[in-house]
Amino acid sequence: MEETSGHDAAEQSRSREGDALSRDHERSQSDRSDDSASPDSQTRQDTGERGSSSPNSQAQQDAAEQSPRSQTRHHAERVTLARLPSGVEVATTVHRYDGAEAGPTVYVQAAQHGREINGSEVLRRIHDRLRRDALAGTVIAVPVANPLTFDRVSYTAPAALDSVNPNMNRVWPGDPSGSLHQRMAARLWEYAGDADAIVDLHTGSPDMLPHVVYAEGDADARSLAAAFGTDLLLAEPAGDDAPDEWRARGFDGKLRVAAAREGITAITPELAHNKQLVDPAIETGVTGLLNALRHLNVLPGDVEDNGTPRRARNHLGSVDAEASGLFRVTGEFAVGDRISEGTTIGTVYDPATYESLQTVRAGQDGILYALTREATVTAGDRLAGIALVDG
């Protein structure tokens, strides 16, 4: 999730405590026996490879094979993002799909925050589809953008590795001479910075409404977000239009914002359920990404009609814990509900003395798009997110 939830904020604090252990980030590939490899990198090229197909779809695939546009080339490369003090490389795999016809370049990444894994599964599920479908242009896919946090199943990196910039999504476009996360971002920016469009896949807690975030005032990004097809679209201010709090929290270093500064259309889909592979969330991502590629004319066909999405403004209705304790939701709420200013959402109380420390209320009218169900909270943790509906 782009925004730090209450649980993730607490985890970020814990991750800074003396964890100097790291693991070997050169992950072996299960299909390496079929690959051609050099000493410096692992690569794979596929021309016209096809996944398994049912008899009913064979005729369509045979027909597609006749079209030059269907001859998509796939190339997978192992890329070093940075090096640890021991000399161990922090590496990931970058997939490139080149269509036979000219078209835009689209950069897609997942798992920038290591616990947000559903986007990685989205990219796995569309892999065969991209290789066999009629593709125009280029798709670059990075299923594990941040191996450091992926291996730790964490939101941020341990302080021992990057105490300056523990959150990778605050440092874009990176710095090849900077901190570990800055170097990693700079290496990936070599791919993302040349794209015409960027899709940065994130996931949040189970109690979060799937949505797509885009830069407020960017018509192209808004159209791409609508094509992705979630019920809720959240416009986030950027640059000079952003509030001081936005800049203080480093939001100008998000990948989507860095892309917008360079004139690259970018969106951030937020799927639900981090740490778990959950089919409804994954299928939302698969359908959405295919729709986005159709919208950009990278894939043929029409964008699926998902109705008119609700549009709202993001990060304007944060409801935070004023004190540490246990948070208990006291009403029947579901993400996606309309909520009125002043509505009581729950209470924070002292578990030792039973004293009520805070009555948690909605600060504005809007859509309840996130609600923490994790009871142990620390002062400052986000308890709920309320989006202000446009119009």
Please tell me if the domain spanning 6-312 has the same topology as the one spanning 316-389: no
Determine if the peptide bond prior to 68 is cis (ω within 30°).
Answer: no
Q: Retrieve residue 347's tokens.
A: 């209470």
Does the reported pTM lie above 0.85?
Answer: no
Query: What pLDDT, on a 0 to 100 scale, did the predictor assign at position 205?
Result: 83
Q: Give me the pLDDT at residue 389, please.
A: 84
State the angle between helix axes of 219-228 and 279-295 in degrees (0 to 180), rounded to the nearest 10.
Answer: 130
Fold for 316-389, please state it.
OB fold (Dihydrolipoamide Acetyltransferase, E2P) (2.40.50)
For 14-53, give one letter per residue: b (16+ CB within 10 A) or e: ebbeeeeebeebeeeeeeeeeeeeeeeebbbebeeeeeee
Q: Identify whether the C-beta of residue 256 lies closer than 8 Å to the C-beta of residue 314.
A: no
Segments making up each domain of the chain, as ranges? 6-312, 316-389
Residues of the chain with pLDDT under 70: 1-70, 243, 246-248, 314-316, 391
Q: Check residue 17 and give its pLDDT.
A: 42
CATH superfamily of 6-312: Zn peptidases (3.40.630.10)
pLDDT at 241: 72
pLDDT of res. 228 = 98
pLDDT at 153: 95
Helices (H) and strands (E) in the chain, counts: 10, 20
